[in-house]
Amino acid sequence: MDSILYFDYIAVPLYMVLLFSSFARGMTKGRSSRLFNWILITSLIATVSDIALELLVRNTPVPRVNLIFGNFFAYSYFLFHNGTGLLYFMFIYSITNTWYVFRKRINFIFTSIPFDVFLVLLFTNPIFGKCFSVTAQNGYLRGPLMSVFYAMASVYVIFGLSHLIYCKRFLDIKKWFALVSMYVLTYGAVVFQFFNDIFLVELVASAISLLLIELVVLRPDEVLDSVVGLQSWKAYLDTLQKIMITKQPVQILAIKFLNAREVRTYLGEERYVKYIRLIADKALSLASTEHLHGELYFEHPGYIYLIIDEHDFDSESLVPILATSVEKYTDDLKGTGAKLEYKVCSIKYPDGLDSYREIKHIGHHFSELMPHDQIFIDAAEINKTKEFQIINNMNEILTRAIRDEKFEVYYQPIYSIWDHKFISAEALLRLDDEKYGQISPAEFIPEAERRGLILPIGDFVLDAVHKFASENEIEKLGLSYIEINLSVAQCLERQLPDKMASLRDKYQVGPDKVNLEITETSYDNIGNVMDENLKILSEQGYSFSLDDYGVGYSNIQRVSKLPLKIVKIDKSLVDNMNTVSGKSIMNNTVRMMKDIKKELVIEGVETKEDFETLRSMGCDFIQGFYFSKPLPAKDFIDFLKKNNLEPEG
Ligand code: C2E
Ligand code: MG
Ligand code: MG
């Protein structure tokens, strides 16, 4: 009886659609995607060959021309069909990040044996004809050794399936089912065909399971960065996790473009992306010329991670070559005046670093922890340093500090030039960790903001300052108000005015005793809530300072429009006053601020000379080590008693 080919016919357009959509969705990066595309291509060829064979030889005696083509398609069918089995087996190892097993030559040879046996049988078949034959009298006929074909294919199925079962513990269950479906559906179809041999459903069954895999497993939104088209940060973390579970030794090259944000703004998104892709391609091709299997991932705004299966190569030797090629591309950038600055860190797993969190954090922070004049560093050199351990354990440190109230508010006095005394102070947070000692707010505040822990910390500061002001009757010590730093998240909190009101009632500390410091960056992020908060609090009598003027993109016009009483000039402007231009910048800044009727606090004044210069320029307030470092509450009170209350001389 003739076989019914309808199902095979369906498989052809299905494979074509899958291939098209795979390319259309940009699924061409990374080993797994490439293997998957090859599977689609070989499956398509196998299916077309199968159909052609059936059509050519279904009527006996088979005409001569049909016989020649029939033979050709029979060989093509078996070659590509069994090839697909091998490719799928490899795909499983790639998608589960266990590819490293093939690095051992012996494993590789072992893996290829069944396919080699199959090839020998296939290519000797024209001589012996024991596997199958295509003849004029009988058309297509199976031979006694056909079972060996199936046996060899089954080896890959058995090992592939066992490996999937082994990997079940770290694969998403939906993805796992999709991957297993390839075997279940195909074998189900084979069994079905065995009993109903007029229906050819095997190829369409594998097409359906590949469709399932493309939809469920190979999701570009999960693995590809939609802007750059490279494998994403999320895919990187995913791979890292799998590496940890399988204890696969790897080496990761983390490349950080230090000024990525600026260069991107300068060049525009499109050109920036083009450069990143060029550099990524170069890095990959470099790795492959060194015979290294590498997978590359990109994280915004400018991190590249190259995970290399080889553990023992000397990554430092790659750096100069990498540098030259990055340099080459940045040469092109030079025409535009831009230059990408970068640093490279090599991370060896598991003997260099062995924890997911450490690897993740070192990729982000290594450049801050290495010498400025150095481009390359081995992660093992920094991961034991206290600075890195603090960054790495920040979550734990902050949680512990919030829970055990390990924070303390210090006060740095601010001197009023007109009143000849200390008229205010800035509240500055200190953290003394039981394990890591004193940690600077410059380190932990940004981290707390990033981790969403800044609100409880900010609340603690607000409470502590109000309490301090009420307990010490600060006005009797000559103090008019205390400045409190507000972070963006606090400014955006709807309850902020209510919180301030309840603190005012609880401690009987009026709005005139508190000044709130905001930063320009926080004002950049404004939403309505921030505007409303500032408005409500201003109406209630709270005053605001703009912190850190002179860092970033300070804009006098914007400053003039904000409800600010005070502008605080950043220390960097003071540090620059030893040059003629630096002094002139300070002078002009002071004049402009006076023109728009702002009071001025100059931060970071350390010397008498600078103090005198600033006084002569007409500044109002001076804050800096020249007078005092930030002090614990008790010492601060003593300081005020000594300097504000006792008559001079
Ligand atoms: P900031 O608000 O600009 O605070 C001024 C910083 O300059 C303080 O650093 C202070 O100790 C330092 N400083 C003052 N005078 C001098 C000087 O003469 N020489 C030098 N070298 N430094 C001087 P600190 O206390 O380390 O705080 C760093 C930053 O952390 C603060 O910068 C502020 O942005 C943030 N911060 C501190 N406490 C809080 C807080 O309670 N809440 C929030 N949101 N941020 C805080
Ligand atoms: Mg401040
Ligand atoms: Mg400041």
pLDDT tens figures, 197-206: 777 788 888 8
Looking at all shown ligands, the one closest to residue 626's CA atom is 1
Q: Is 33 exposed, middle or buried (0-12, 13-18, 19+ CB in 10 A)?
A: buried
Q: Which atom of ligand 1 lies at the shortest distance from residue 568's CA?
A: 3
Domain span including residue 122: 6-219
Give the mutation target among 466, 603, 606 for probing the ligand 1 site: most ligand atoms within 8 A of CB: 603
Nearest protein CA to atom 21 of ligand 1, as residue: 604
Give the mutation target among 422, 445, 546 for probing the ligand 1 site: most ligand atoms within 8 A of CB: 445
Domain boundary among 386, 404, 437: 386
| Residues 149, 265 within the same domain | no
Looking at all shown ligands, the one closest to residue 487's CA atom is 1
| Residue 180 resides in a domain | yes
Q: Which atom of ligand 1 lies at the shortest distance from residue 487's CA?
A: 44
How many folded domains does the chain comprise?
Answer: 3
| Residues 435, 509 within the same domain | yes
| Residues 464, 565 within the same domain | yes
| Residue 350 resides in a domain | yes
Q: Which atom of ligand 1 lies at the shortest distance from residue 409's CA?
A: 41
| Residue 648 resides in a domain | no
Which CATH number belongs to the domain containing residue 445 in this structure? 3.20.20.450
Which pLDDT does position 525 carry in this prediction?
A: 54
| Residues 180, 59 within the same domain | yes
| Residues 588, 635 within the same domain | yes
If you measure from the C-alpha of residue 485 to the centroid of ligand 3, how many angstroms do you get, rounded to a whole number?
9
Looking at all shown ligands, the one closest to residue 623's CA atom is 1
| Residue 1 resides in a domain | no
Query: Can you tell me the distance from the alpha carbon of 570 to that of 551, in angstroms, rounded to the nearest whole number?
Result: 7
Domain boundary among 219, 246, 281: 219
If you measure from the C-alpha of residue 446 to the centroid of ligand 3, how many angstroms do you get, rounded to a whole number?
14
| Residue 618 resides in a domain | yes
Nearest protein CA to atom 44 of ligand 1, as residue: 487
The first and second tokens of residue 64, run together, are 């001569």
Which pLDDT does position 1 carry in this prediction?
A: 43
If you measure from the C-alpha of residue 498 to the centroid of ligand 2, how many angstroms do you get, rounded to a whole number?
23
Nearest protein CA to atom 31 of ligand 1, as residue: 442
| Residues 74, 143 within the same domain | yes
Mean pLDDT split into 10-residue runs, the chain, 649 residues: 68 93 83 92 94 85 86 93 92 83 81 93 89 86 86 91 88 89 88 77 88 86 78 89 82 90 85 85 80 85 88 74 70 68 89 86 91 88 88 90 92 96 97 91 90 92 96 91 94 93 96 92 64 91 93 78 91 93 94 93 96 95 97 96 78
| Residues 570, 446 within the same domain | yes
If you measure from the C-alpha of residue 16 to the centroid of ligand 1, how many angstroms do you get, rounded to a whole number?
62
Which CATH number belongs to the domain containing residue 75 in this structure? 1.20.1070
Nearest protein CA to atom 32 of ligand 1, as residue: 442
| Residues 478, 353 within the same domain | no
User: Coil, strand or helix: which one is 385?
Assistant: coil
Looking at all shown ligands, the one closest to residue 442's CA atom is 1
Query: Can you tell me the distance from the alpha carbon of 293 to that of 307, in angstroms, rounded to the nearest whole number?
Result: 8
If you measure from the C-alpha of residue 548 to the centroid of ligand 3, how many angstroms do you get, rounded to a whole number?
4
| Residue 21 resides in a domain | yes
If you measure from the C-alpha of residue 583 to the centroid of ligand 2, how many angstroms do you get, rounded to a whole number?
23
Domain boundary among 184, 219, 254: 219
If you measure from the C-alpha of residue 434 to the centroid of ligand 1, how many angstroms do you get, rounded to a whole number?
22
| Residue 647 resides in a domain | no
| Residues 363, 416 within the same domain | no
Q: Is 336 exposed, middle or buried (0-12, 13-18, 19+ CB in 10 A)?
A: exposed
Residues near ligand 1 (Cβ within 6 A): 412, 428-429, 440-442, 445, 458, 461, 485, 487, 547-548, 571, 603-606, 623-625, 630
Rounded to 5°, the CA angle 532-535-536 comes to 85
- Which residues have a Cβ under 8 Å from the Cβ of 389 and sit 6 or more positions away? 383, 436
* C-alpha separations of 87 from 103, 158, 246, 343, 634 in Å: 16, 14, 22, 37, 73
Q: Which atom of ligand 1 lies at the shortest distance from residue 441's CA?
A: 30
Give the mutation target among 402, 410, 485 for probing the ligand 1 site: most ligand atoms within 8 A of CB: 485
| Residues 97, 169 within the same domain | yes
Element (H, E) at 411: strand 407-416
If you measure from the C-alpha of residue 533 to the centroid of ligand 1, how many angstroms do you get, rounded to a whole number?
24
Spatial CA neighbour of 553 closest among 328, 261, 347? 261
If you measure from the C-alpha of residue 481 to the centroid of ligand 3, how many angstroms do you get, rounded to a whole number?
17
| Residues 151, 195 within the same domain | yes
| Residues 507, 358 within the same domain | no
The first and second tokens of residue 25, run together, are 């969705």
Which CATH number belongs to the domain containing residue 303 in this structure? 3.30.70.270
